[in-house]
Amino acid sequence: MKRLIPCLEQDNVEIELILLIKTILTACKEISFRVGQGALSNVLGSTLDENIQGETQKKLDIISNQLLKDMLLESGKVRTIASEEEDSVVAATEGAPYIVAFDPLDGSSNIDINGQIGTIFTIYRAKDDVPAESELQFSQKGTEQVCAGYVLYGPSTMLALTTGGPSRLYTLDKTQGCYLLTTEQMDIPTETQEFAVNMSNFNQWSSGFTHYINDLLLGNEGTRAKKYNMRWNGAMVGDVHRVLSRGGIFCYPNDIKKPEQPAKLRLLYEANPLAMLVENANGKAFTEQERILAIAPSHIHQRVAVIMGSTQEVDECLGYLKTN
């Protein structure tokens, strides 16, 4: 099996970027170890702090954030860092070529129940006309990402990565400490009979999205004339991993009862990197109206609605949103 670095070299990824990816993955190996230790390493449970979005921070969230931040600050390759767990951007090395954003542990409600969680990350080129300490470093569309990936801490630790070419999947060989290529090119089937959505939000959706889900639930008897299955992980990284692995549609639509904050998922370090992985695996990733990767961001913690996965199913869903 091929190791990660030779794969990146073969894809003609520039050496500086390879070194940066290596740094992120070294931090993730450490996170994987701590996650695997579970209750034995006394890292489960909550701290008393809240992050900028008012969510209680879990101990492992804080540790993972610190590990990634420290290693990126030391690497000399990163000019600016943004994280779900940091209120504002962190200036790193002046003149360094890249900026990095990450969600250190996506799906933190799964931490204490030994469920799937993961680290999502994205890399862009630094802007020379913007100071390192400015949030404007990140006002770049998702199409500008030079690398997007996640490390999923499940029964095995897996890395999904794209540097602009195909989305590839690697598995961490814990005996050797290296990532081995296990799926050369992820390829999302265009059609599906599986959807992922938090059904407890049913009464908060637009009429178009409610109509779409209702038609899926009608199965063979409805207009879609297909029996659909549902899966919901509570961690976007795990749900999108399933979609990348066998197809499906993942939806986190707007909540129409919360006009002040209709969307839940974050554009910079959740939607954009996963959208790039999905598109480079022949899938489609939209909000309720537009391609996620084409959004000009307004803020590092901006939220967007997310509908991604099998192309035909995403198109069906978007059709309901247009006509209702």
Q: Which residues bind ligand AFP (CB under 6 A)?
A: 55, 106-109, 198, 234-236, 252, 264-265
> Measured between alpha carbons, how far is 35 from 30 in angstroms, rounded to an integer?
9
- Asked whether the beta carbons of 190 and 310 are under 8 A apart, the reply is yes
CB of 267 to ligand AFP, least distance (A): 12
Shorter beta-carbon distance to ligand AFP: residue 124 or 250? 250
> Measured between alpha carbons, how far is 96 from 145 in angstroms, rounded to an integer?
16
CB of 249 to ligand AFP, least distance (A): 13
Please state the separation of Cα 233 from the chain's center in Å: 14
Shorter beta-carbon distance to ligand AFP: residue 163 or 310? 310
CB of 117 to ligand AFP, least distance (A): 8
CB of 206 to ligand AFP, least distance (A): 17
> Measured between alpha carbons, how far is 130 from 80 in angstroms, rounded to an integer?
11
Shorter beta-carbon distance to ligand AFP: residue 182 or 204? 204
The encoded tokens of residue 81 equal 């860092």
CB of 15 to ligand AFP, least distance (A): 33
Could you give the 3-state DSSP secondary structure of residue 27? helix
Shorter beta-carbon distance to ligand AFP: residue 13 or 158? 158
CB of 282 to ligand AFP, least distance (A): 22
Shorter beta-carbon distance to ligand AFP: residue 89 or 111? 111
26 closest CA partner among 191, 213, 172: 172
Q: How many CB atoms lie within 10 A of CB 115?
A: 15
* Nearest residue to the partner ligand AFP, using Cβ: 236
Residue type, 112: D
DSSP strand pairing (194-196 vs 229-230)? parallel
Shorter beta-carbon distance to ligand AFP: residue 86 or 106? 106
